[in-house]
Structure formats: structure tokens, C-alpha cells
A = this chain, B = another copy of it.
Amino acid sequence: MFGARCLLRALRSCSSAPCPRHKPSAKLSVRDALGAQNASGERVNVQGWIRSVRSQKEVLFLHVNDGSSLESLQVVADSSFVSRELAFGSSVEVQGQLVKSLSKRQNVELKAEKIEVVGNCDARAFPFKYKERHPLEYLRQYPHLRCRTNVLGSILRVRSEATAAIHSFFKDRGFVHIHTPVITSNDCEGAGELFQVKPSSKIKVSEENFFNVPVFLTVSGQLHLEVMSGAFTQVFTFGPTFRAENSQSRRHLAEFYMVEAEISFLESLQDLMQVMEGLFKTTTMTVLSNCPEDVELCHKFIAPGQKDRLEHMLKNNFLIISYTEAVEILKQASQNFTFTPKWGADLHTEHEKYLVRHCGDVPVFVINYPLALKPFYMRDNEDSPQHTVAAVDLLVPGVGELFGGSLREERYHFLEQRLARSGLTEAYQWYLDLRRFGSVPHGGFGMGFERYLQCILGIDNIKDVIPFPRFTHSCLL
């Protein structure tokens, strides 16, 4: 049944050199080929896309990349292989011998015995040009192709490594992973910026009745994690969350990823902040150690100076200031703010930036916010007359708010009163139940994953650290 196909592949081959008889060659990724110790003529088979072509009098040089690493594999062939089809963007399969390279630029290279063009690339229509470094804004227009560039390749490999590192961080510490729901009948933050979900008009169930209640896309898995922390003590989730914010900001998306954790028997914000700092530092160290070239590409070409800034964050302890102290610092600032700093008012981006700079460009935890600013579930500090809650935000250089967290109100009567005041008692009976049946002090946090990537890589626009960005007026693909 695959006969016709094999024939087609054979016809597509552009090799004109006679192919010596040899044992079948091993299929190798570019990464594995590059990492081969003491290459000494092993026969291998490498597949990928051509990143560059250079033809000299007697020799043809190709660079072949398969996305397994930033670096490409140099293929060396004699000039009989030269063909118009061997062009930037074409996919190829190369058989040959892996040998030590004479050049200092690479350790190994592939001496080609057979080169097959698998798929041509229509160079005139291809939006990326050979040897050109396109700006990120330009690449954003081609969400189906930009991953083939060096820079997006590196960013998305880092994203994949960071994802794995985050899972490991929690698993190593005994957290249970929970898939919190995407469709929910709750509105965790009490905010209005929700997406509503309905069956599309083609569905036979009457629209109002699919779930019997109005449902939305989740803005946070926190309340569902609290359910689970009441059984497993330490839990985390890492999934998509949504805001229907009409924002064109470089820090907001309609669909973004959050890492959220919830911990039972947690007594203080100090304990919570320790986990937050640990998550940031451990994940970052793992990423730096597992894909140094990818991180370096970003630091070198996109965010000069970012390497030092990141090292500075990693080697220093994060600072802790109270909201009250933060407001005092802002009041004493010589800078003129658009929003005048005032106790009881929210901190704005301009304030966050100033605070981070003021603290020496080290991440800074701001704790104990006014109760009136925060949602019902945050734990009352009972510190009248100020009246604050045990909330914590982590502000980081370049990005601003990266984490938000709090101790949760575990005391039934405190929570009951707060819910009653917000008119939410009926909707949150189940949440009150968690305090009726073996309640425990607990707390948790959420970290914006895209902002984390922006922070470590120095990427200015959040749209460049997610494979397919969704934001106001844009949902490509």
C-alpha cells in the first residue's frame, strides 16, 4: 500500500552520486549528531530543514536544523550534489558519515553520501528571507511559520523546558497535580472580565440549558485547588486561564497560562513566599542548565544586559515590604506619578516599577494589602484600624506583578460574614463547607507563566512567548 509513496520519494531524490553499499544507517536528531563524542565516520541519517546553503568551487555546505537544538548540523557534500532544490527552507534527508570537523565553528559535521529533498520551499512566497533577522513584530504576522526561525525556536524550547521544570519542582516536593476545570460556573475574583461559553448555534440542545447554568472560562483554578488541598495537603495546577480584558498591553493576553499551588497547614506568608521564591529560582536554574544556548540567544540579540539582571535576581534574596511601607516609599519619591500614591488605593504599574528600582532591581514581595482592595477569600489580619489581609504580590524587574497569593480565610464565621457582605453566601455554600468539615489554615499563589518567560528571557511583548497569542481583535488560526 505504500508502494506508490516510496517510488515518489525515490523520484524526488536529487542525489546523482553513486550510493555505496553499506549497512542501514541510524536515524539521528541534529542534537544527538552534534553531541556525538569522537565522531569517526559512523553512518547516520539526519532529517531537517535547510537553514543555509553555501556553494564553493568543489564543496557544498548545508546547515540542517530539525528543531531539536538551536545549532544546526553542517553537511558537507561534493559539488555534484548542487541543485536548485537545495534551498533555504526545503526539507531534506541526508545520509552520510559523521566526522570530526576541521573548522573551529563545530565539533562534528556530516559528510554526505546521499541528499534527498523531501519537500521544496517556494522561496518567493516564503515570508522569511535567507540571512535576514526579522523583527518580532514582523514574525507575529505568521503564527504558522514563525516557529521555524531561530528566535521563536529558542523561546518555545525554553517554554517547553520551563514547563517540565515546573512539573518536576512540584512533584519532587510531593505536590499532587490537579486538572482544575476550564469551564466553570464560578467567578473566582468577582471581576467582570469573563468569557461566556455556549454551545454553538448548530447544537440541538437549547442554548440556555446545556449546563442548566451560565458558564464561563476560568480566571483561576484557586477555589478548585482549595477543594483538593483539603484532601491532598499540597496541590498544584498548570493550565490555561482567561480574561476578556480589552487591552493591547505588552503584558496581557486573553488566554494565558498560570501555575497555581495551594498548601494546607500553612501558617504564615513567610512559608508561602519561600515556596514562591523557590519555584522561581529552581525553575530558572534548571532552564539555564538545560538550554543555555537558547537563553543566550535571547539575552544576546533581544535583551542585552538581561543576563546580568537575571543573575542579580538569582543570587540575591527577594525582598519583603508591606503595602503600608510601599505606599510610604512612593509618597517620599521625587518622581511624579500619574496616580498619586495613597493608602487604600491600588498600586499601578508606574508604582510597581518604582518600587522594584527602589529595591535595587531585585524581586520584591509586597504583603498585607488593605482588605477593601482584595477578594473575600483572603485572610483577615485583624489589625484594625488599618484592616489588612494576608495577601502577597511578587513584583519583578521589567515585568511588574509576576505572582499573586494569600493566606485564605479558613475561619468559618469570618468567611461567612465576608460572603454575606458581598451577597455571595448562597453561591459559595460549597466553599463554606470546606470550613465546616476539618478546616485548616492554608494558602496559595498563582504565577503568570508567560510573564515568567518574559522575565527570564527579557522578551518585551507577551505575544512572543506563547505559541498562538489570543488578544483583543486577534485570534489567528
Identity of the chain B residue whose Cβ is nearest the Cβ of A207 in the assembled complex: B196
**Smallest CB separation, A400 vs chain B (Å):** 22
Give the chain B neighbours of A183 by CB distance below 8 A. Answer: 195, 217, 242, 254-255, 470, 475
- Given known pairs A196-B201, A224-B477, the reply for A156 and B178 (CB within 8 Å) is yes
Q: Are A246 and B437 in contact (CB under 8 A)?
A: no
Number of copies of this chain that the complex holds:
2
Residue A361, interface by CB 8 Å = no
Q: Are B475 and A153 in contact (CB under 8 A)?
A: no
Q: Are A199 and B203 in contact (CB under 8 A)?
A: no
Give the chain B neighbours of A468 by CB distance below 8 A. Answer: 180-181, 224
A174: which of B31, B199, B239 is its contact (CB, 8 Å)?
Answer: B31
What 0/1 readout, one digit per residue, does chain A (437-477) give for beta carbons within 8 Å of chain B?
11111000000000000000000000000111010111111
Q: Are B199 and A439 in contact (CB under 8 A)?
A: no
A202 to B189, CA, bound (A): 15
**Smallest CB separation, A200 vs chain B (Å):** 4
- Given known pairs A186-B477, A434-B144, the reply for A233 and B199 (CB within 8 Å) is no
Identity of the chain B residue whose Cβ is nearest the Cβ of A175 in the assembled complex: B160
A386-410 contacts to B, CB under 8 A, are 410
Give the chain B neighbours of A118 by CB distance below 8 A. Answer: 265, 438-441
Residue A415, interface by CB 8 Å = no
A238-287 contacts to B, CB under 8 A, are 239-240, 242, 244, 246, 254-255, 257, 264-265, 267-268
Q: Are B147 and A67 in contact (CB under 8 A)?
A: no
Q: Are B202 and A477 in contact (CB under 8 A)?
A: no
Known: A29-B233, A184-B475. 10 other contacts (CB 8 A): A145-B433, A147-B228, A156-B178, A160-B177, A160-B178, A164-B177, A167-B167, A203-B246, A211-B473, A212-B475
Per CB-CB distance, the 4 closest pairs between chain A and chain B, nearest first, are A67-B232, A119-B439, A147-B231, A199-B244
Which chain A residues have a beta carbon within 8 Å of chain B's beta carbons? Answer: 1-2, 4-5, 29, 31, 47-50, 66-68, 89-91, 93, 118-122, 125-126, 143-145, 147-148, 152-153, 156-157, 159-160, 163-164, 167, 171, 174, 176-186, 192-205, 209-213, 215-217, 223-224, 227-228, 230-234, 239-240, 242, 244, 246, 254-255, 257, 264-265, 267-268, 368, 381-383, 410, 430-431, 433-441, 466-468, 470, 472-477
